[in-house]
């Protein structure tokens, strides 16, 4: 049975989708079978994995969730797209936007995604879920389905302030829905060590949370290469294999394997 990792932060622009994609490919490079699930209605992960026309997809995460709600027997592999770098993707498109309204009135609405993951999880070593930057029903579903949470945080004032809210939310979900949910660690992203502010915020986050939560030693540097990689539909390992961002995500993948 594989391990499910949710990539989460209530603040946007911290590199969740980039982290999901590159962690997935990084684990695949270590010989692991990996499924990426795009649970963000902005479907950034789907696009960054090279799906140029997500609106034309016949089966997406919203299709699967709808079928589970209707209690249909589903093929857990239906709709999964194989990426050339060795990972699989359950994509999303704009149809995921309306899922919030569909899930809201349902009994057990927090565990619908878990039902799908329980079907597909035996096929993979790792299932990685990308989430939107809000604590909506889909994000709660992702946290309810996960074994552990990985938190990308940019060294910015508002990101650091929002981290406490996220940790409180994770504690609530652990208490009420998913007692097995752990925190894999905090990954500092978009770090610019040339600036005093960035270095200061990184230090403050480590001092505030480092004693209780693992903070990965290898930070992801601020780099246009990561954004370029997403635009090409490839990972940083293909786009800039010898760069510092690739080295950071390689270290992250190895760190996740150690903790697993």
Q: Parse the chain into domains and list their residue ranges.
A: 3-259
Average of pLDDT values for 82-105?
93
Q: List, for residues 201-229, the tens digit of each pLDDT value.
A: 888 899 989 999 999 999 999 888 888 89
Query: Strand, coil or helix: what is 176?
Result: helix
pLDDT band at 162; cut points 50, 70, 90: confident
If you count them, how many residues does the chain have?
260
pLDDT over threshold 70, residue 254: yes
pLDDT of residue 186: 95
Residue 233, sorted as left (phi over 0), alpha (psi -120 to 50) or beta, turns out to be left
Average pLDDT value over all residues in the chain: 93
Q: List, for residues 184-198, the tens digit of each pLDDT value.
A: 999 999 998 888 888
pLDDT of residue 13: 80
Report how far residue 155's alpha carbon sits from residue 189's, in angstroms, rounded to the nearest whole number. Answer: 7
Contacts of 51 (CB under 8 A, 6+ apart): 57, 81, 89, 91, 233
pLDDT band at 96; cut points 50, 70, 90: very high
pLDDT of residue 38: 98
pLDDT of residue 239: 95
Report how far residue 77's alpha carbon sits from residue 67's, in angstroms, rounded to the nearest whole number. Answer: 13
Residue 231: count of CB within 10 angstroms of its CB = 10
Report how far residue 62's alpha carbon sits from residue 112's, in angstroms, rounded to the nearest whole number. Answer: 11
pLDDT of residue 1: 65
Does the structural domain 3-259 have CATH classification 3.40.50.300? yes
Average of pLDDT values for 156-162?
78
Q: Which residue has the higher pLDDT, 159 or 237?
A: 237
Is residue 185 within a helix (H) or strand (E), and if so which, with residue range? strand 182-188
Q: Which residue has the higher pLDDT, 74 or 157?
A: 74
pLDDT of residue 135: 87
pLDDT over threshold 70, residue 149: yes
């Amino acid at each position: 049975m594989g391990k499910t990792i949710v990539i989460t932060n209530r603040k946007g622009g911290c590199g969740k989708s980039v982290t999901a994609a590159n962690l997935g490919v990084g684990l695949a490079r270590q010989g692991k079978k990996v499924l990426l699930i795009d649970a963000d209605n902005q479907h950034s992960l789907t696009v960054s994995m090279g799906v140029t026309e997500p609106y034309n997809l016949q089966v997406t995460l919203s299709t699967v969730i709808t079928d589970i709600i209707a209690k249909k027997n589903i093929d857990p592999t239906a709709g999964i797209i194989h990426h050339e770098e060795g990972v699989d993707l359950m994509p999303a498109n704009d149809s995921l936007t309306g899922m919030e309204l569909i899930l809201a009135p349902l009994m057990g609405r927090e565990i619908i995604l878990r039902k799908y993951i329980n079907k597909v999880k035996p096929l993979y070593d790792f299932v990685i879920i990308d989430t939107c930057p809000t604590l909506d029903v889909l994000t709660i579903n992702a946290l309810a389905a996960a074994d552990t949470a990985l938190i990308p945080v940019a060294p910015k004032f508002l990101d650091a302030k929002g981290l406490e809210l996220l940790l409180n939310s994770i504690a609530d979900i652990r208490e009420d829905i998913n007692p097995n949910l752990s925190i894999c660690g905090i990954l500092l992203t978009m770090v610019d060590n040339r600036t005093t502010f960035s270095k200061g915020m990184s230090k403050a986050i480590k001092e505030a949370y480092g004693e209780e939560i693992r903070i990965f030693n290898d930070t992801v540097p601020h780099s246009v290469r990561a954004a370029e990689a997403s635009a090409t539909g490839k990972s940083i390992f293909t786009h800039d294999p010898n760069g510092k961002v690739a080295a950071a995500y390689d270290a992250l993948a190895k760190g996740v394997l150690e903790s697993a």
